A and B are shown apart, each in its own frame.
Chain A
Amino acid sequence: MGGYAGKILYVNLSSGVIEKKPLDMGFARKHIGGLGFGTRIYLDLIKNNPVFDALSESNPFVLMTGPLTGMKLNGVARWTVCSKSPLTGFWGDSNVGGFFGAYLKFAGYDGIVITGKAKTPSYLFINDDTVEIRNAEKYWGKDVFTVTDQLKEDLKPETKKGGQVLAIGPAGEKLIKFASLINNKGHAAGRTGMGTVWGSKMLKAVFVSGNGKIEVAQPEELDVLRAELKEIYDESIGISAIHSSGTATHMDVGIISGDIPIKNWQQTDWDEIDEIGPSMIEEKIFAGHKTCYGCGVACKKNAEVKDGPFKMEKGPGPEYETVATFGAMCLNPSIESIAKANDICNRYGMDTITCGSTIAFAIECFENGLIDEKDTEGISLTWGNSEAIVKMVEKIAKQEGFGAILGQGSQKAAEHIGGNASDFLTTVKGLEAPMHDPRSAHGYGLAYAISPRGACHEASLTFEAEGGTIFIPEIPMLSSDLPEGSDERAKLNVAAQDYGMFFSNCAVFCNLGGMPLNATQAVSLVNYVTGFDYSLNEVLEIGRRIWYLKRGLTNLFGARAEDDKLPKRLMTVMEEGPTEGSLPDMDKMLAEFYELRGFDKNGLPTKKVLEEVGLPDLAALLNNV
């Protein structure tokens, strides 16, 4: 077999016991990898006691790579993390690129399962067969950049060829609810507060170094396909665009269709939008290209601000979501301030989508008189006030004053602020919506509503299919030309979930770097690397099972039909612009989706459907809730 490293690492931080368990290839075949492994392992760990707080030692944390992670191929550097979310209280997961996943496999591990809680700040040292829980007192309190550099320097004598660090910053230590895990200073597992889980476990970092390599089961077939794909990648306009300008290229495209939320989702156009577009990024902050392991797409960009109030040294630059949250959402036309806000989030370890959205929410509260400068300690939190926005990011990161309120996320902050603050929320299941407006593409609305982890454009491939970045001719719903509106969007979501679970959750293809791939090519890549002989139907069945697993886990944590809805703000009709008069028909789409997925009126998958997809234990658990 190829692709897999062959072992999974189990680390109990309470007892200090470390186990290296061989990867069962029957299990691998049935779950592929990534969140396929992660969700199943997680459920098995908690099913005897599924009621616990996300910050308790009962909450496991699972990090899993995919079978292709670590290959020198475009769009396969990614890996996944999952746990119960401290931000939402529901299921949490995140998907991230960078180098850590590849190095973990070179060390001989497909993933790490972390349970328990350390008594003192700790880090995990992995150097091939040597795995140790070590004291991290000297690193605790340090920002992500510092701990990354220090660990690499301190551990250099013990390793042959250096290593990779995955770390939390002070935000995770202080249990800010949207803390992220960061590899290489800028590759963030940002959403749902997975860094907060590490903070609660007193786990500062994992250092990994490895000298192994990944075997390929069918190298000749892979080489032929690789040559075929080279031509496809060379001709891909999407790849060309993100290589040139990064994901922020969407600022120029998304504004045409009304996809970019502006002024906390109250506008779809703004005179100053070009100030934060790709041309200005290139002119004012661009400082070179970056990439993930083995990927020639190189969609990441460095940024640098040489002088002025937002001065920052060269480091990972803001991506589209970050530019939109700290920029368009806050009517902030200063790209330098956005780069600075992004830099603070990377150093302290915070999710930029939740952080920026929470600040936009707070600005609206301020502008409407629900809070004032007494609350914000003198910060005039008004639309477009770049300095105030950056100051508030710092206050959140340090948990100072009002920053400590916002550090709980916008939903908790709305409860604290009171009045009609909840009218300004953009959350589903407690997770702030990403920067793509369902009023411009109704399928996104359903995708956000029924995503197990809350409002998310990457919880399936609906965003890519309806938005147009992917074209999967083998799957009719992912290649048909749907009319505008809400018709057929339930079917689209089901197809995008089943294929998406295979593509970007289990095989862990990158939704950007993998966008030129059709299904035949994606399945073939997995088969040639692993030696399995998956058919498209089989990977879709696996994807479907994993989707139900995620849904069931979020149901186990309390999510019900009333949580499958869009906030009032996203369901407000725009009176002008590209989305004028357009609103997703949520009742229709949800009813059709519930029918297609076999949900009862409470939003729970029926026992029958769970047994059909091979999850009888989950069915039994949900029956007992």
Chain B
Amino acid sequence: MGMFKTSEEFEKVIVGFFQLVADTPLIADKLLQSKMVIRFKYSDPDLTVVVDCAGDKALVKPHDTTTQAIVEMTMSADIAHRFWFGMVNLTKALTRKEMVAKGPIPKVLKLLPAIKPSYAMYPQYLDANGFEQYNITKAYKPPTA
């Protein structure tokens, strides 16, 4: 069992964060320039999310299985979660197939500078949206009864 117990729980966290990133011009403008369409396929728990930057606005589409993606990234929800803290050794994760990518990967790697500000945003987003328990950068103490 990973950090997230249900798909719904993970969806709330990750889709909300993707939407925040999509609404942040500093990041979204660069993503839109790339015209990239990525399908994230998560496991444990399962969830599919498409981030579509092909148009004028970055769109976040949970459960989308029809949009033609340029790149498909498959990973566990925990790896994805740690990635947004900047805690995943990307090279190692790709080498060891903890992240599996299909499509023109160099194009995805070139987006890394664009999304760099989001690593600082993620813990703040978790704290600000009632997801403190998932903020692994601080010792979380669950509320007592």
List the interface of chain A (C-beta within 8 A of B).
237-238, 240-241, 244-245, 249, 252-253, 255-257, 273-274, 277-279, 467-471, 515, 578
Contacts and interface: CB of A to CB of B under 8 A. Distances in A.
B89 A279 contact: no
Contacts of A274: 113
Given A468-B92, A469-B95, A256 B109 contact: no
A471 B92 CA distance: 8
Interface string B113-132: 10010010000000000000
A244 B105 CA distance: 9
A476 to B, nearest CB: 14
A238 B89 contact: no
B91 interface: yes
Nearest to B34: A279
Interface of B: 86, 89-96, 101, 105-106, 109-110, 112-113, 116, 119
B91 A469 contact: yes
Given A256-B86, A468-B93, A470-B95, A241 B109 contact: yes
A253 B90 contact: yes
B106 A245 contact: yes
Given A468-B92, A469-B91, A469-B95, 16 more contacts: A238-B95, A240-B105, A241-B105, A241-B106, A245-B109, A249-B109, A253-B90, A256-B86, A256-B112, A256-B116, A256-B119, A257-B86, A278-B110, A467-B89, A468-B94, A471-B96
Contacts of B109: 241, 245, 249, 252-253, 278
A238 B97 CA distance: 11
A238 B101 CA distance: 11
A598 B110 CA distance: 45
A444 to B, nearest CB: 13
Most chain B CB atoms below 10 A, which of A252, A277, A278, A578: A252
Given A238-B95, A279-B113, A244 B106 contact: yes
Nearest to A279: B110
B89 A468 contact: yes
Contacts, number: 63
Nearest to B92: A468
Contacts of A471: 95-96
A255 B93 CA distance: 16
Contacts of A237: 94-95, 101, 105
A515 B106 CA distance: 17
Nearest to B97: A471
6 contacts: A245-B106, A249-B109, A252-B113, A255-B116, A256-B86, A469-B95
Given A253-B90, A256-B112, A257-B89, A240 B106 contact: yes
Nearest to A251: B113
A245 B86 CA distance: 22
Nearest to A441: B89
Contacts of B105: 237, 240-241
A272 to B, nearest CB: 11
Contacts of A253: 90-91, 109, 112
A613 to B, nearest CB: 31
Contacts of B89: 257, 467-468
Contacts of B101: 237
A468 B95 CA distance: 7
A470 B92 CA distance: 8
Contacts of B116: 255-256
Contacts of A467: 89, 91-92
Contacts of B106: 240-241, 244-245, 249, 278
Contacts of B86: 256-257, 578
A467 B92 CA distance: 7
Contacts of A578: 86
A274 B117 CA distance: 13
Most chain B CB atoms below 10 A, which of A253, A273, A578: A253
Nearest to A470: B95
A274 B101 CA distance: 23
Contacts of B96: 468, 471
B108 to A, nearest CB: 9
A252 B92 CA distance: 15
Nearest to B102: A235
B91 A252 contact: no
A469 B119 CA distance: 23
Nearest to A243: B106
A252 B93 contact: no
A279 B113 CA distance: 10
Contacts of A249: 106, 109
B72 to A, nearest CB: 13
Contacts of A256: 86, 90, 112, 116, 119
B94 A252 contact: no
B29 to A, nearest CB: 14
Contact of B113 (A238, A240, A277, A515): A277
A582 to B, nearest CB: 13
A249 B91 CA distance: 11
A536 to B, nearest CB: 20
A237 B93 CA distance: 11
Nearest to A256: B86
Nearest to B114: A274
Contact of A273 (B90, B113, B119): B113
A21 B95 CA distance: 43
A277 B106 CA distance: 13
A205 B86 CA distance: 48
Nearest to B99: A237
Contacts of B94: 237-238, 468
A245 to B, nearest CB: 6
A578 B101 CA distance: 25
